[in-house]
Amino acid sequence: MVVKVNIKDVAAKANVSIATVSRFLNGKTERMSKETALRVQNVIQELGYVPNDAARQMITRKSKLIAVIVADIDDYFATEMFKGISSILDAKGYTAVLFDSDSNKERELELIKIVGEKLFDALIIQPITNKESEIKTALKREIPIVAVDRELSDATVSTVRTNNFDISKKVTNYYMRQGYEKVVIVTGEIVGISTREERYAGIKSVCDNSMLVEVSEKDLKLNDTYDTLKNILISSNERTVIFSLKERWLLHLIPRLMADGFMNSYGVVITGFSDTDVIKAINPLVSLINQNPYLQGASAAELLFDELSTGKTDRPQKIIISGKFK
């Protein structure tokens, strides 16, 4: 018969209070002597005591679990961002748990509701909704929140994002100086997605001669998108920049543009946001914007840990990580 050891047994054997053992298990050893901490540790090892995490969570209301909601797990940006988050949180003793909203606002709000109902200590979110109030309403409890990649219109929480407006303006300026006359912007729905709104505004601030080719988030092969883009290029005599606001669309479009001879044309160039080296491998001459999702995730985790360790959530910080055009 196996006798289950509990925290009372450890306290009695070490000749300390249950509260002292509890503080030791939670890493709060500053209020006890080194000798006491060592004695408790030795007794735990001697008795083979395994803390009951579920019971501890009920007492402390802390789980050491951080919810991370991303917009689309299929995107390299999301996976690299999650790696950055996990690298920091793991080192701090926390575990990141990934959720995918699948670029669907209703699903996102349902996931936020689930996070609020479970014992997560905090939330890092790449939001579909652009309102912090909707996130907090769905949560129904106060926990630290950090928004990453996208801005919230009524934000009182910390955020990490790319300098979307400035880098889009810089790149458009570069091509206008090269003699290009028109920009065709390949994008998903713009309204309500701050990242795309900022990028679009940056392009428009330089070039009024622009047009949108909107991509459905569910259009995985981009057949209709390519047909529209192809017709625009064939019917225009203007030197044109194809500016994609998302890497996945570039991966579908560049091989077809190359196969149809557009990339060999003096009048057509393609650029956009990219987070891998795949496109460069396909066409080394393409110049792209890299926005370092790993660093964004790590920075978001650092901000969150600061709030968790200090308990201060009323001083939101904004970190803007400059994209690199190369």
For residue range 36-73, list pLDDT tens digits in order.
889 988 988 888 887 665 455 544 456 789 999 999 99
What's the rounded Cα separation, in Å, for the pair 214 and 190?
Answer: 9
Pair (269, 168) in one structural domain: yes
Pair (168, 286) in one structural domain: yes
Instruction: Please count the residues of the chain.
Output: 326
Mean pLDDT of the residues in the chain: 88
Pair (154, 174) in one structural domain: no
Pair (177, 261) in one structural domain: yes
Pair (187, 88) in one structural domain: no
More confident position, 20 or 326: 20
134, 103 in Cβ contact below 8 A? Answer: no
Pair (243, 102) in one structural domain: no
Is position 103 within any domain? Answer: yes
What's the token pair of residue 173?
């300026």
Pair (121, 218) in one structural domain: no
67, 99 in Cβ contact below 8 A? Answer: yes
Pair (13, 96) in one structural domain: no
Instruction: Give this prediction's pTM.
Output: 0.78
Is position 91 within any domain? Answer: yes
Question: What CATH number has the domain bearing residue 93?
Answer: 3.40.50.2300
Question: What CATH number has the domain bearing residue 28?
Answer: 1.10.260.40
The region, left, alpha or beta by phi > 0 then psi within -120 to 50, assigned to residue 247 is: alpha
The confidence score (pLDDT) of residue 84 equals 97
Is position 42 within any domain? Answer: yes
Domain that holds residue 195: 164-290
**Helices first, then strands: H and E counts in the chain:** 13, 12
The confidence score (pLDDT) of residue 56 equals 53
Pair (136, 209) in one structural domain: no
Pair (170, 265) in one structural domain: yes
Locate the DSSP E strands across 116-163.
122-125, 145-148, 158-162
Pair (285, 297) in one structural domain: no
62, 121 in Cβ contact below 8 A? Answer: yes
Banded model confidence at residue 181, pLDDT cuts 50, 70, 90: very high
Q: Any long-range contacts for 171-179 (C-beta under 8 Å, 24+ apart)?
A: 171/243, 171/271, 171/287, 171/289, 171/325, 172/202, 172/203, 172/205, 172/206, 172/207, 172/241, 172/243, 173/206, 174/325, 175/241, 175/269, 175/271, 176/206, 176/207, 179/239
Is position 189 within any domain? Answer: yes
Going by C-alpha positions, the residue among 12, 81, 75 that lies closest to residue 44 is 12
| Choice among 16-25, 101-110, 118-127, 216-225 with the minimum mean pLDDT | 216-225
Our count of domains for the chain comes to 3
